[in-house]
Amino acid sequence: MTENAVAVVILAAGQGSRMQSDLPKVLHRLGQVPLVGHALSAARSLEPELVIVVTGHGADRVAQAVAALDPEAATVLQSEQLGTGHAVRQALPQLEGFEGKVVVLYGDTPFIGQDTLAALASHSADLVVLGFEADDPGRYGRLVVSDRGLERIVEYKDADAATRQIVLCNSGVMALEANLLRLLIARLSNENAAGEYYLTDLVALARAEGRRADVVLCDEAETLGINTRAELAAAEAAFQARARIRAMEDGVTLTDPDSVWFALDTVIGRDATVGPNVVFGPGVTVESEAEILPFCHLEGCHVSSGARVGPFARLRPGAELGGDVHVGNFVEIKNAVLDEGVKVGHLTYLGDAHVGEHTNIGAGTITCNYDGVMKHRTTIGPRAFIGSDTMLVAPVRIGADAMTGSGSTITEDVPDGALAIGRARQVTKPGLATRLMAALRLKKEAR
């Protein structure tokens, strides 16, 4: 175990009934990923030895999402929702043998910053609570502090008039040594109106043991919890505003910032340019000096330096664009690698393909990659020229410097340097168009 070791417990068992949803609350999306993904990302900023997610409502779905987001995180089940203290108790078997600091986070509180978490994890007090000064304290629990540190947490319903005047409020997030957690959590009582075990009671128990409790302060905005659809929408707006500012501060040009939508893990290099109405799904990296034109949707893809995408283009998972690639309007790329200098101007679908450098793909080209059961791959060599309206029926290989004639359906491999034409011979019938239209008009008049 490393010195100053940290473990993180994320509480994600609640139903979230105020969301009016069959979906567990922590699986509602913010910044294109489930809420619990934000907590997992924050936890990983501490480089923890253990991350434990406590599930409850919709446990199987939450565990599946956690495994996809962070395969190294463990999940444990809180079969009955008997309070936050009871939830943390379910994580104790996973913490067996761990002797570092345990940080408790919430799966529906997405905005706690890395600096705040670092301050919590490194604080010298035996128990540390994250607090904030609220503009409107409302029904938040109050933190009562003195020169001896945090004296107690008083729930609003239990507070007298003087205590309700306190603006220092409890976020619910705390950190304490693992051995102290094990000692105190066994002493929690559910002798209260709700019959639940409250994590906040650990403060009084720690003080009774002669331990020091203290408070780390953060901005109120970091503690925003999501309980309703309206709060989720407000959180999305806040997340996007921060992401846009961060991108511009990092040297990205957003020509219309308010219309660009980011995911939690979007990475864009300096001097890249993003036009209006661009949506970044999860897993997107755009390198420096690339340009994303208006009305594009990108997900699970990589765009190299100098590439130009759009307008009205869609990059789906597995799209890899090399340097100086041009993907134009109404082009869709999926699970395909486009090497340096490839040009795909318009009205094209490239799926399950590899396109060699400096190849030109004509308008209306389609890689016919699906036979109804399995996907098949198309390989196009460097410097090839694919004529407009070419159907490439995979599996098929087009060689280096090869060409296909416009309107061709290609079902066989094309050797290097060859021209392939796969279309029916044109037949012209002089005067037939005039006679046919006249007959059709007569038929219409007779009706």
Q: Do residues 182 and 92 make contact, with C-beta atoms less than 8 angstroms apart?
A: yes
Which residue would you say has higher pLDDT here, 16 or 231? 231
The CATH number that applies at residue 316 is 2.160.10.10
Output the pLDDT for position 390. 98
Among the options 297, 346, 354, 358, which is catalytic?
346
Classify residue 228: in a domain, yes or no: no
The answer to whether residues 128 and 120 touch, using CB atoms and an 8 Å cutoff, is: yes
Same domain, 306 and 389: no
Asked whether the predicted pLDDT for residue 31 surpasses 80, the reply is yes
Answer yes or no: do 406 and 270 share one domain: no
Of the listed ranges 68-77, 92-101, 119-128, 153-162, the least confidently predicted one is: 153-162
Q: Are residues 196 and 294 in the same domain?
A: no
47-85: per-residue pLDDT in tens? 999 999 999 999 999 999 999 999 999 999 999 989 999
Q: Are residues 76 and 214 in the same domain?
A: yes
Same domain, 65 and 36: yes
pLDDT digit string, tens, across residues 333-343: 999 999 999 99
Please check whether residue 232 lies inside any domain of the structure: no
Q: Residue 193: what pLDDT?
A: 76
Is the same domain home to 196 and 308?
Answer: no
- Does one domain contain both 325 and 402? no
Distance CA(322)–CA(250), nearest Å, equals: 22
Has residue 188 been placed in a domain? yes
% of the chain at pLDDT higher than 70:
99
Q: What is the pLDDT of residues 231-241, one digit of tens each?
A: 999 999 999 99
Specify whether the CB–CB gap between 56 and 77 falls below 8 A. Answer: yes
Query: Does some domain include residue 243?
Result: no
Q: Is residue 270 part of a domain?
A: yes
Give the pLDDT of residue 2. Answer: 67
pLDDT of residue 4: 84
The DSSP secondary-structure symbol of 157 reads: G
Neighbours of 156 (CB within 10 A): 15
Average pLDDT, integer, range 302-329: 98
If asked whether residues 385 and 416 sit together in one domain, one would say yes
3-state secondary structure (DSSP) of residue 427:
coil
Domain count along the chain: 3
CA–CA distance, 223 with 138 (Å, rounded to integer): 14
Domain membership flag for residue 20:
yes
Judge whether 358 counts as a catalytic residue. no
**Quick one: which of 282, 303, 301 has its CA closest to 38?**
282
Mean pLDDT of 207-234: 95
Each residue's pLDDT tens digit, 153-172 = 988 888 899 999 999 999 99
Sign, CA dihedral 192-197-199-203, equals positive
Q: Average model confidence (pLDDT) for the chain?
A: 95
Write the CATH number for 18. Answer: 3.90.550.10
Check whether residue 402 and residue 328 sit in a common domain: no
Q: Are residues 304 and 373 in the same domain?
A: no
Confidence band of 133 (pLDDT split at 50, 70, 90):
very high
Range of the domain at 93: 6-223
**Could you read off the pLDDT of 37-46 as tens digits, one per residue?**
999 999 999 9
Are 321 and 362 found together in one domain?
no
Q: Which of 50, 339, 108 is CA-nearest to residue 231?
A: 108
For the residues 167-195, what does the mean pLDDT come to? 93
Q: Is residue 240 part of a domain?
A: no
In this structure, the answer to whether residues 282 and 397 fall within a common structural domain is no
Amino acid occupying residue 344 = V
Would you call 239 exposed, middle or buried from its count of C-beta atoms within 10 A (0-12, 13-18, 19+)?
Answer: buried
pLDDT at 294 over 90: yes
The torsion angles phi and psi of 268, rounded to 5 degrees, stand at -130, 130
**Domain-embedded: residue 1:** no
Contact 289, 304 (CB under 8 A): no
Q: Are 398 and 410 in contact (CB under 8 A)?
A: yes
447 vs 321, residue with greater confidence: 321
> Measuring CA to CA, which residue among 387, 395, 385, 406 is closest to residue 352?
395
Whether residue 384 contacts residue 356, with contact meaning beta carbons closer than 8 Å, is answered with: yes
Return d(Cα 225, Cα 169) in angstroms, integer.
Answer: 14
